[in-house]
Amino acid sequence: MESGRNRIGGCRRTGKAGFTLLELLLALSIFTLVAGMAAGSFWSITRTWNRANDLLENLHYGEFAMDQLVAALRGAAWFSSKPEAFGFWLDDSGGTSDRAANEISWVTSGTAFLPPDSPLKDGLHRLSVTVEHARGGGQGLAVRAWPHLSEETDGKDVEPWIVVPDVRGFSCEWYDFEEDGWSQEWEETNSLPKVLKVSLTMEPREKDGDPVRLQRIVELEVAPDLPGRERKDRTTQDELDREESEAAREEENRNGNGGGGGRPEPPRHEDSGGGRRPGFSGSSGNSGSSGPSWRTGTGRPGGGNSGGPGGGRTGVRTEDGSLVITGGGRGGGRP
């Protein structure tokens, strides 16, 4: 009877509990919040990863170009026998800004920047590096190469090739040891600078990103310490040698003809009889006379017209009345 009432009066309890609608809504909200946070983090990480890859790719291209440039500069060649064929050229268009389009040219013996099938890779050749517009759009690092002894071209007729795209600017400076600072005013086209600073600016990968600037300082080992000073050409050096020789001859002529054209007069010495020995002068030769007569014991005058030495004579009376003549030799004139 009681079991029948249980069946009639209500449902049978099994002992298992379920979720209410409120609990389900709360769980769904938490799951949505966590999934959104995870998706946002995943998107941020993916974006950062892509940006890092772009920067690495940008740096890879920039570093590749910079390494090639440094290798080509370190392989620079210069010979004093023909400096005009091995000189360094610098065009400072644009200064040192991010949009600079400097152009440098030098002779090198390395294979940097050259294609594998280039006929210039086995010897000396002249390279030219600058920034030019690429065929596919944008700017790139343009390189030209031609024989360094060629007098028919200055490189403008040579077809360039773009070694690195997306280059915004390129600049070069040389260190002036006299001014103790970096400079772009290079006029010594027959010589090489000792130290160079090259800068390469790459385009940013993002629309509002910052450009990537790479910079290197390169020492040219074949360049002397003071560019343009001791590397003068032979014509200029010969002119300087001739000027120095003429100046030396003029100085010798002045020293040989000074003092009125005569020979220097040696110091005069006192004679034992009170007279003086005249020197080598153009005077009348009366310097040997100090008394009215040479018989009274005074010096005898020297020669008056010859300009030679006139050694004064001295006469001394002895006790027996004889006269003894002492003193120097004869003068150039008559007594």
SS (H, E, C) 68-121: HHHHHHHCECCCCCCHHHCCCEEECCCCCCCCCECEEEEEECCCCCCCCCCCCC
211 has pLDDT over 60: yes
267 has pLDDT over 90: no
Predicted pLDDT of residue 116: 85
28: exposed, middle or buried (Cβ count in 10 Å: 0-12, 13-18, 19+): exposed
185 has pLDDT over 80: yes
Identify which of 182-186, 254-258, 276-280 has the greatest average pLDDT. Answer: 182-186
Biggest distance spanned by C-alpha atoms of the chain:
206
Predicted pLDDT of residue 51: 76
Closest CA to 212 of 31, 57, 33: 57
Predicted pLDDT of residue 40: 86
Closest CA to 168 of 249, 97, 66: 97
Phi, psi of 91 (to 5 degrees): -110, 115
Let me know whether 116 and 204 are in one domain. yes
Predicted pLDDT of residue 8: 47
Average pLDDT value for residue range 7-36: 75
Vertex 234, ends 231 and 236: CA angle to 5°? Answer: 85
Let me know whether 66 and 213 are in one domain. yes
Confidence of residue 115 (pLDDT cuts 50, 70, 90): confident
Predicted pLDDT of residue 203: 87
Would you give the distance in Å from CA 262 to the centre of its chain? 54
Q: Tell me the sheet residues that pair with 276.
A: 270
126 contacts: CB under 8 Å, gap ≥ 6: 105, 106, 107, 108, 145, 146, 147, 148, 155
Let me know whether 307 and 172 are in one domain. no
Q: How far is CA 67 from CA 50, 73, 128, 164, 200, in A?
A: 25, 10, 16, 12, 11
Predicted pLDDT of residue 41: 87
Closest CA to 186 of 76, 73, 92: 92
Phi, psi of 278 (to 5 degrees): -70, 155
Predicted pLDDT of residue 226: 62
Average pLDDT value for residue range 88-111: 93
Predicted pLDDT of residue 258: 52
- Given 234, 262, 287, the domain boundary residue is 234
Q: How far apart are the first and last CA of the chain?
A: 194
Predicted pLDDT of residue 148: 84
Per-residue pLDDT tens over the stretch 61-80: 688 889 999 999 999 998 88
Let me know whether 68 and 191 are in one domain. yes
Candidate from 40-54, 110-124, 137-151, 233-247 with smallest mean pLDDT? 233-247
The whole domain housing 283 covers 271-335
Identify which of 97-111, 206-220, 261-275, 291-305 has the greatest average pLDDT. Answer: 97-111
Question: Residue 35 domain-assigned?
Answer: no
Let me know whether 185 and 105 are in one domain. yes
Which percentage of the chain shows pLDDT scores above 70? 62
Question: Residue 256 domain-assigned?
Answer: no
Let me know whether 171 and 278 are in one domain. no
177 contacts: CB under 8 Å, gap ≥ 6: 194, 225, 226
> Could you tell me whether strands 167-176 and 212-219 are parallel, antiparallel, or unpaired per DSSP bridges?
unpaired
Let me know whether 281 and 229 are in one domain. no
Predicted pLDDT of residue 290: 42
Let me know whether 286 and 214 are in one domain. no
Q: What are the CB-based long-range contacts (under 8 Å, 24+) for 204-211?
A: 204/58, 205/51, 205/54, 205/55, 205/57, 205/58, 206/51, 206/54, 211/98, 211/168
Confidence of residue 39 (pLDDT cuts 50, 70, 90): confident
95 has pLDDT over 90: yes
Mean pLDDT (the chain, rounded): 74
210 has pLDDT over 60: yes
105 has pLDDT over 70: yes
Question: Residue 11 domain-assigned?
Answer: no
165: exposed, middle or buried (Cβ count in 10 Å: 0-12, 13-18, 19+): middle
Predicted pLDDT of residue 329: 46
295: left (phi over 0), alpha (psi -120 to 50) or beta: alpha
User: Buried (b) or exposed (e) across 297-320, using 16+ Cβ within 10 A?
Assistant: bbbbbbbeeebebbbbbbbeeeee
180 has pLDDT over 50: yes
Let me know whether 228 and 285 are in one domain. no
Please state the domain count of the chain: 2
Q: How far is CA 305 from CA 159, 240, 312, 331, in A?
A: 90, 48, 16, 10
Confidence of residue 14 (pLDDT cuts 50, 70, 90): low
Closest CA to 75 of 142, 123, 129: 123
Predicted pLDDT of residue 315: 56
Identify which of 146-155, 274-283, 298-307 has the greatest average pLDDT. Answer: 146-155
Predicted pLDDT of residue 164: 86
Confidence of residue 322 (pLDDT cuts 50, 70, 90): low
Question: Residue 248 domain-assigned?
Answer: no
Higher model confidence: residue 267 or residue 246?
246
- Given 234, 256, 283, the domain boundary residue is 234
Closest CA to 173 of 68, 91, 99: 91
326 has pLDDT over 70: no
CA 273 – CA 294 distance, rounded (Å):
10
